[in-house]
Structure 1
């Protein structure tokens, strides 16, 4: 890519299925973890907390002027790997390669940006090769003022039509940024909205294989962050649209489990605002397995957005297979090491009856003389 950009994109476009796992998940996660030690030169633009007050000037230093799309991160929640600080630059770089390879956007019109406000990752702070600010993350007013200056400068420098994609921000900032700027800028949050659109498409397609309509399903999520609540809301909206019923009613078919157990109404006082719509009337349930088995829930679709690997255990998958002839199991957390289960585990533990898709790719699985090729629901998100 650094030596011959035209040849790089020719190779990528002609071999897109083979090379996407290298350009993006799962390899991009490993690249971000090692970014400091493999760094040879900036592929995107870094905006540091120390440049507050001069962000417009920094943007004008970028050699390309006709920018159409910006993918920006602050590196606080990279895939399921957590806070990688400014080493998260691999995500905007990789994502914009997909804009070109799959969307036909000129590479020169794409700008990867990492906003460096520090990191709370002690391992990185102690690493001599870490390339970012060696301080704990800026928060509160200082953080908000920096982002406000950035968003204003981007529009001032590139115009009203510049597309800004928020990528891998932590929950507490992601929802606030989207709510604040969605009416003044052309923005979207990939983790909240992009993932939801692709997963909804996957669920609709899988429903045809299951012989069900969307409204026939009961959904259970493991993970109630940006991805989980974003997917849940879009599914509820689509169910509402199809059934012509209020979205408040269709939300009752969707249950979420977070680190403290099933989200229920008795927990409302302690829940973050984006979890409140999913706090249904039910007694507390601590474990995922118990939620899967519970008579009042009995999900037909199990979706993992937890960022915690191997949480869809043998017992959980077997319970899904007991309750459903064809259970739909979506283990969406990235990279592969964080996937809730593997394709082989899903097919083996369900005796070949599961419909399975994942966030990172898995090889075909042989089971009882049949080859199962799983889908990749989050391929581009």
Structure 2
């Protein structure tokens, strides 16, 4: 079963894919069927007559007309949005980005920029390389903003959609530079929403745990990271970030399972990076603790042990102490620090959660009002 996501940039085809890690799903998987029909199936069979052949021709033209309309819609979206999708190159690595405003700000993945501070950007409608520099990066949400040194006239910012209106089955187009093939477009649907996904850690990947991701069947490949996932209203609904891999196939790509950071997260983080150079409101829930994975006597992961508690934070206010081992958040089992991070990623600041923990060998619970993840 496809279970391992990999960042889809910044390396081109010659790059080995990162190691497989587990995808943690915050929403249940669902199988959906699709039925179709035509108006002619509801009509009685026509008797043989001179007019019957013309009637048949008229009925058979309906699917073709519908197909042409869908094709026209695809081509309109591509014409509207593709000029806003760029290729980002740093050294011998590459990824994608989305023009965020007419001042030259471009939003992309943090794992695309890595530790670099200068970049070369190529617009979809030009072969001229443009210089850009880092504005700021926020690895916790795997987002970053870079800025063109000399924005050209006619730079076209993308329009971002409402994440709350993204629904299963909506048609999506993924735009970017997969394997270095600039201005590429693939199509699919929204396969699921509300996914919580843990990235692999290593290389340029920050190993972030990201909530509310959009799952899509549109093909996403290395180099697509930072590109646009778009609906048929020509709105960006996400940034292409991860593709699932198949653990039993030596990390080979699992076709049709990709993930995109939702538009609401993109705009919130990007606005803060542009205006302040940092993120002061992450929108991510936190306990206000420093923790590590706890192991039992069989050396198996058995929870997240609190190492330090932030004064006045959510955990401190609920009476949690260093040495307490968290084993559950609400109904979600916690057997490691990563599991705790994943559980918190699906929650929101200000919400209440029951934390189950052990202290001196005794199981206890505490009702905690979650705080906001602080940023450096």
* TM-score tier (shorter): under 0.3
Which gives a bigger RCO, structure 1 or 2 (Cα 8 Å, sep 6+)?
Answer: 2
Normalising by structure 2, we get a TM-score of 0.26
Which has the larger strand fraction?
2
Whichever of the two has the greater Rg, that structure is 2
